[in-house]
Chains A and B, each alone.
Chain A
Amino acid sequence: MGLELFNTLILCLLVVVAVLSLWVRDLVVAAVVFAIYSFLMCLLWAEMGAVDVAFTEATVGAGVSTVVLIATVFNLKRKAKD
């Protein structure tokens, strides 16, 4: 029961975060929201017992790719046009 509640909560948050990352205009905020998405996925993988995948998601998805995205955004116009 507790685990099911946890999964449902994370899956609902995932949808919210996914929509939010498209909705925000500021690209730096979008990059950070992507990091949150990765962390939620990481929690979900770890809960499913795929610890190796969770580890990769935490390092690559939430860590380095956020830095790389922000580094790229700083060389672009920060606000999205539409």
Chain B
Amino acid sequence: MKKTAFILVLCIGLLLAWAAKDFPAWGDPQSPASSSPVASHFIANTGVDTEVPNMVTAVLADYRGFDTMFETVVVFIAGLAVFSILRGGPKSRTRDREFVVDFEPDLIVTNTVRLIVPVIQIFAFYVLAHGHVSPGGGFQGGVTMGASFILIALSWDLKTALARFPIERCFTVAALGIVIYAGIGLLSLFLGGEFLDYAHLAKIFPVSPEMARYHAMLGVEIGVGFTVTAIMFALYASLSTDGRMRDGL
């Protein structure tokens, strides 16, 4: 059985390798991705339409905003699903784990983490807020922020981290992120535009339509950051404790 599977995998691998020779060469200017009119439209018009230097963020949060909104919803649903599946499992499982957790948090580790967690969180805010200008944005900033809470849970214990960010608040914050995103979209709908057409926000804010799109992208990224931060931590908390929310790693 194992041999059959190996031969099958080898055949599929060879098939894929054979198909890969039809791909365009690296950096080929004639490749379909580079020569499509959509790509050149974005390259030519992003700066004019939105004044955002980082084209990737503009495409992600503005031109393709509907897609990113539902990506955020997917993250939220994934976190909710992991939480509810693990929470709903049989509670009385006594599983002998191969590793016994030291009860006392280590002095050197906790003090190092005490020093670097604020730096990580400030960096996360920078990545989030600076996502238009430099690489970064809501997803990366949110994951970095969530990682700082995971670091607290790893170096002390899950109880310490949950005291700072309770699991109920995780899901409230995650839902709030989606509400922020959809709220900005709906606001532009009520102002006479289409859903997520941020240029119409210029009617109520004292900015040009281009800068309205610029700032609305920041708002949207903050919404994404909220959701991703909370869900990353909730995922860790659920998975490391098998849904019991106590005595983690």
Contact = CB atoms under 8 A, between A and B. Distances in A.
Bound together: yes
B147 A63 contact: yes
Interface residues of B, number: 30
A67 B148 CA distance: 12
A52 B236 contact: no
B235 interface: yes
Interface residues of A, number: 21
Contacts, number: 63
B12 to A, nearest CB: 14
A78 interface: yes
Contact of A64 (B135, B137, B143, B241): B143
The B interface, classified by DSSP as helix, strand, loop or mixed, is helix
Given A74-B240, A75-B242, A67 B150 contact: yes
Interface string A42-82: 00000010011011100110011001101110110110001
Contacts of B95: 75
30 contacts: A51-B135, A52-B56, A52-B135, A55-B135, A55-B136, A56-B143, A59-B143, A60-B139, A63-B143, A63-B144, A64-B146, A64-B232, A64-B236, A67-B147, A67-B150, A68-B235, A68-B236, A68-B239, A70-B249, A71-B236, A71-B240, A71-B248, A72-B240, A74-B97, A74-B99, A74-B240, A74-B249, A75-B95, A75-B97, A75-B241
Interface of A: 7, 48, 51-52, 54-56, 59-60, 63-64, 67-68, 70-72, 74-75, 77-78, 82
Interface of B: 2, 26, 54, 56-57, 95, 97-99, 127, 135-137, 139-140, 143-144, 146-147, 150, 154, 232, 235-236, 239-242, 248-249
